[in-house]
Amino acid sequence: MPTPTSIVTGASRGIGRAIAIELSRTHRVLATYRGRRDAAESLRDQAGVEIAQCDISSADSREALIRLARERFETLDLLVNNAGIAPRERRDVLEAGEESFDELMATNLKGPHFLTQLAARWMLERKAGRIVFVTSLSAYAVSVNRAEYCISKAALSMAAAAWAQRLGGQGIPVFEIRPGIIRTDMIAAVESAYEERIAAGLLPQRRMGEPGDVARAVRAIADGLLDYTTGQVINVDGGFHLRSL
């Protein structure tokens, strides 16, 4: 049996890095990065993955990534749309400008949506493969000081549903993984505040998530354990999504 193949976007740090390391145990991995080549090279050295620079917001960059993957891989078994960014500056929704909105939409929504289009066309050649969208609890939990981020993730959640509907009958299940509060660079500035809120009962499971928690959810998908659950939203959030009185 040939070794299965995967693309993981935004893999140089945080959640993407953990996913790439987890998948490297069983897959050939093409891991993308945008600016931090040093971090990507350390991932390559640690896990034996291949790396490629890719600005997911750029059509030319997305197309180049798929061309490179086709040169390296005969088939694509798994696409993990993980790349995403937070606002450069948190600003109230009354004050935040269009530049930040456009930047987040291009990277967090347009990029993964159209990368999936390219990957899905390839997967349809043999009607096989799996696709994962990594969104966020911000797909439904509002933060008025980073509304553009929440809007991008809510829209990405719908993109995942659209792709699950379109590809479900073609042997290509699609999943959305919704991380909660995960210990990454993205929350470093507010990590201590989150820790205090978690200790006070914000989450039913009273600990912050780790990138490996998300990676293990991807593992279950990669191993085919969830193939009859296309369109499923997997909350990796310590129970944040639960409602209680």
Q: Compute φ and ψ for 64, nearest 5 degrees.
A: -65, -35
Classify residue 88 by burial, with Cβ atoms within 10 Å: 0-12, 13-18, 19+.
exposed
Task: Examine residue 240 and state whether it is found in any structural domain, yes or no.
Answer: no
Q: At what angle do helices 111-123 and 147-167 cross, to 10 degrees?
A: 20
Could you report the per-residue pLDDT of 21-47, keeping only the tens digit for each? 999 999 999 999 998 899 999 999 999
Residue 241 in domain: no
Between CA 3 and CA 69 the distance in angstroms is 14
Answer whether 0.75 is exceeded by the pTM: yes
Asked if residue 17 belongs to a domain, the reply is yes
Query: Which domain CATH number covers 204?
Result: 3.40.50.720
Task: Residue 47: give the domain boundaries.
Answer: 5-234
Element (H, E) at 161: helix 147-167
Indicate whether 226 belongs to any domain: yes
Q: Does residue 55 belong to any structural domain of this protein?
A: yes
- Return the H-helix or E-strand segment holding 46: helix 37-47
Q: What domain count does the chain have?
A: 1
How far apart are alpha carbons 126 and 234 in whole angstroms?
27
* Residue 163 pLDDT exceeds 90: yes
Give the whole-number percent of the chain exceeding pLDDT 90. Answer: 96
Within a domain: 245: no
pLDDT above 90: residue 190: no
Average pLDDT, the chain: 97
Active site residues: 149
Note whether residue 211 is domain-resident.
yes
The answer to the question of residue 239 being in a domain is: no
pLDDT at 121 over 90: yes
**pLDDT of res. 28:** 98
Give the dihedral sign, CA 88/58/35/136.
Answer: positive
Over residues 105-121, mean pLDDT: 98
